[in-house]
Amino acid sequence: MNKDDRSVLMWGSFGVAIAALFVAIASMTGLVDKNSSSSSNSGTGPTVVDVQLSEFAITPAAIVVPPGAVQIRVTNNGTMVHNFSVPSLSKKTADINPGESETLDLGTLSEGAMDVLCEIAGHAGSGMVGTLTVTTGTSPTDTSASGGLHGFANWQAMDQAMEIRAKAYPAATSGEKGGQPFVPVVEADGTKVFNITVKEVDWEVEPGKIVKAKTYNGTVPGPEIHVNVGDKVRLVVTNELNESTSVHFHGIRVPNKYDGVDPYTQKPIMPGETFTYEFTTLEPAVGIYHSHHDAQVQIPDGMFGAFIVGEMPIPDVLKAKGFTQVDKEVTMTLNDSGTIGLSLNGKSFPATDPYTLRVGQVMMVHYQNEGLMGHPMHLHQPVGWIIAKDGVPLLTPEPSDTIWVAPGERYTVLYKATDVGVWAWHCHILSHAEGPQGMFGMVTALIVTP
C-alpha cells in the first residue's frame, strides 16, 4: 500500500476547482447568528466592538469591522472565567471573571478574516468560537442588528469574507507535518525501538495561528507507529516539558505495568526524566498513544499519535464490490479543544491537507477522536464502508456517509473513488466546520481524478 502523499500541487487545474467548490458551498450555507456586532466610531478614534462571553458562546459570533484601528470591549456575562483571543494577531485578554470587562486593542487592521475564541481548555470545543472579518465598505451603522446579515453589512460582504478564506485553501504552514511514519531503530534481535521526546513547540495550526503545543517529537499528531503482530517494541520516552507526563497505549494490548496510568502502574515521568515501555504486540490493533497525566490538557494540546499493529483485511463482501486492494491508507485524527482547537491532524482549514485518489482507487481511513466531544465525519462522495470499530473487524461492513466518532473511538472505513471532482470532507456539526465567514476548522477535501 502506498502511504498518503496528499500533495495537491501535481493536479494543476484542480487548484482552481478547489477554490470554486468551497466558494460555491460557502455561498449556499452558513450558520445563522441573529446577533450582530455593536460598533461605535467617533470618526477619528478606533472602531469599538462590544462582545459578550457566556457558557458557551461568543456574541456576536461574526464580528465585522472596517479596516483601521479596532478595539474589542469584552464583557463576561457568564458564570465562569472566560477570555477572548485572536490567535492570528497574538492578541488576548486576561482571564475575565464573571461580571467583569476588558478592552482589547487589536491595533490597525487590514482586510482579511480571522478566528476568535476562548482559550480556556474545552471552551472553544463547546462553542466559544467566532470570526472577525475586516472588509471595506463596512461602517459601524452597517453592522447594526437592524441592517446586518449574520453580522455582515450585506450579502456581498459576507460572500467576500467566504471567498477570502476559500481561496486560501490549501494554505501552507511552517514546520514539519504531523503523523508521518515513525521509522524505528531495529536492534540485532529484531526489537523495534522508538525514541520519543516530549516537548513544547510553536505549532502553526493555520496561517497566523501559532500556539504552544505539547508534542511527541515536535509534531501534531506525533509520528505514526506501524508494527506487525509479534514484534518486540520498545518506546524510550524523554520528558522535556516543565511538568510530569506518562504515555498510555489506547487500544493496544500491553502488560499492566506499561499501561501508562500514573501513579498506579508507574510513577509519572517527571521533567528531565526518561522512562522505557517495552512489550511484544500480541494482536492486531488500531490504537493511539497519548498522555494519561493531566490528559484533558496534554492530549488536546497535541500529545497524541496513531499506533497501528498489523494490517486491516478487506472483507470478502467488499472484494465482490470491487474493493480488491487498498491503494492508500491514512489516519485522520480529530481534535476540538486545547491550544490546537477544531482540527484534523493538527491543522485547521484552510491549512488542512487535501487527499487524492484516482477513479477506482480505494482509500482506507482510520478515524481517531482525541478531542473532548463527538464528531460526525461526512465525505460528500463516495459512500464509506465501515469495516472495523476500535480496531476490531465488523462481522458485516456497514455503509455510511456520516460516521459519528466519539472521544477515544476509532473507526476504519473504506472509500472507493467513483466520480471525478473535488469533494468536501468535514465534521457535520456545522459550527465545527462552517460559519458566516465560510469554512474553517474541521474541513478538508478529497480530490478524485480520472
Cα 131 to Cα 374: distance, rounded to the nearest angstrom: 23
Q: Which of 121, 111, 25 is nearest to 68 (CA)?
A: 111
CATH number for the domain whose boundaries are 2-28+314-449: 2.60.40.420
The pLDDT of residue 91: 94
pLDDT digits (tens, 9 = 90+) for 236-247: 999 999 999 999
Q: Residue 322: which region, alpha, beta or left (left: phi > 0; alpha: psi -120 to 50)? A: left
Order of all β-strands in the sheet with 285-291:
225-227, 304-309, 285-291, 247-250
Bridge partners, residue 412, by sequence: 366, 388
**Residue 434 and residue 302: Cα distance in Å, rounded?**
23
Q: Helix 14-28 crosses helix 155-167 at what angle (to 10 degrees)?
A: 150
**CA 280 to chain centroid:** 32
Q: What is the largest CA-CA distance in the chain?
A: 76
pTM score:
0.74
Residue that the C-alpha cell 472495523 belongs to: 388
The Cα–Cα gap between 211 and 200 comes to: 10
Predicted local distance difference test score (pLDDT) of residue 148? 54
Please tell me the total number of residues recorded for the chain in this structure.
Answer: 450
Q: Which residues of the chain have pLDDT under 50?
A: 1-39, 42, 140-147
Write the CATH number of the domain with boundaries 38-149.
Answer: 2.60.40.420
Domain 185-309 has CATH 1.10.1270.20: no
Q: What is the reported pLDDT for 123? A: 85
- Asked if 412 contacts 364 with a C-beta cutoff of 8 angstroms, the reply is yes
User: Whole-angstrom Cα distance, residue 414 to residue 208?
Assistant: 34
pLDDT at residue 38, rounded to an integer:
46
Q: Give pLDDT tens digits for 106-123.
A: 999 988 888 899 998 878
CB count in 10 Å sphere of residue 385: 22
d(CA 273, CA 241): 10
**Which tens digits make up the pLDDT trace of 321-375?**
999 999 999 999 999 999 999 999 999 999 999 999 999 999 999 999 999 999 9
Q: What is the domain partition of the chain in residue ranges? A: 2-28+314-449, 38-149, 185-309
The gap between the terminal CA atoms of the chain, to the nearest Å, is 20
How far from 9 is each of 16, 176, 189, 207, 368, CA to CA, in Å? 11, 18, 42, 18, 27
Asked if the domains at 38-149 and 185-309 fall in one CATH topology, the answer is: yes
Give the Cα separation of 180 and 175 in Å (integer).
13
